[in-house]
Amino acid sequence: MLTQEQYGLMITSLRMYRKKTEKSIRQVEQHFGSFVDKKTLQDKEKRLEMLIELEEKIKWLMKIDKA
């Protein structure tokens, strides 16, 4: 069982990484446009989806630990 502070730190870290990933996707799209490898962009988008899912799961665990 984790403390609320530990959950908060995990969520904060995930959000920071998610923002970096979102920024990276935008930069790739802006600077390289049609030259970017679609696989690379798909990988970044998949990573972003996984980060969002992980954040939701951590929030769910935090609610269970509170109970």
Per-residue pLDDT of 8-63, as tens digits, reads: 899 999 999 999 999 988 888 888 777 777 888 888 899 999 999 999 999 999 88
- pLDDT recorded at residue 12: 93
- pLDDT recorded at residue 50: 93
- pLDDT band at 67, cuts 50/70/90? low
d(CA 67, CA 65) in angstroms, rounded, equals: 5
Q: Return the SS3 of 20.
A: helix
Q: Return the SS3 of 36.
A: coil
